[in-house]
Every structure is written in structure tokens, then in C-alpha cells.
Amino acid sequence: AQSVTQLGSHVSVSEGALVLLRCNYSSSVPPYLFWYVQYPNQGLQLLLKYTTGATLVKGINGFEAEFKKSETSFHLTKPSAHMSDAAEYFCAVRNTGNQFYFGTGTSLTVIP
């Protein structure tokens, strides 16, 4: 069975600083991996995804993530945080049975 662990339920960074949100997964087969963002009172929208091929994937709003099979990780980064990045971020994995498993989320606060 798959599971997704997001280390740090709350992360605070200063505006302009590096954003690093951690995600580790457990999967017996190569998974499909996703990061979603949720703004207040909104649904989740896709930031980026990894399926196959290049392990460094770029998403919207300047975010990127790197799939590291040896570490079973898919950490999300952004070089310079903006105030508008404040939101809840969810890491997810999709298995071959078309089931999605989500982490518990990381709330990102950006300090002016």
C-alpha cells in the first residue's frame, strides 16, 4: 500500500527566501507523483507532476520538484518566495490502481 509523508505541517519563510517543502512516499512500484496547492476556501489545483522521464519537473508559479527514487522523495522547491505563495500544499501519489493518496499537507506562511 502507498503512503505519503509530508514533514512539517507548517513552514514559514521570509519573502524572497528559498521554499522547501518535503515529501516522502512509499510505493512498491514506480509511482506517479503530484504536488497540489490549495488557497483558502478553494479546491486543490495541480502545481506539477512526475510520471516518467526527467526527474526534475517544473510547474506553475516558479515551483519545481525532483523525483529521487533512491530516497523515495519528491520535495517541492521555489528559489524565491512571494507573498502570493502562502497556501496549503499537498503531495500525492497515484498507484496503478488509479487510487490517489495524499499527504496531510503543509501550510506555507510567507513573512514580509
Q: Which residues bind other proteins (CB under 8 A)?
A: 32, 34, 36, 41-46, 49, 51-52, 90, 92, 94, 96, 98-105
Report the nearest approach of other proteins to the CB of residue 97 (Å): 8
C-beta closer to other proteins: residue 17 or 44: 44
Q: For residue 97, is it left (φ>0), alpha (ψ between -120 and 50) or beta?
A: alpha
Residues in the chain: 112
Report the nearest approach of other proteins to the CB of residue 1 (Å): 10
Calpha distance 43→39 (Å, rounded): 7
C-beta closer to other proteins: residue 29 or 112: 29
- Do residues 109 and 86 touch, judged by C-beta distance below 8 A? yes
C-beta closer to other proteins: residue 92 or 110: 92
Report the nearest approach of other proteins to the CB of residue 34 (Å): 6
Calpha distance 68→112 (Å, rounded): 32
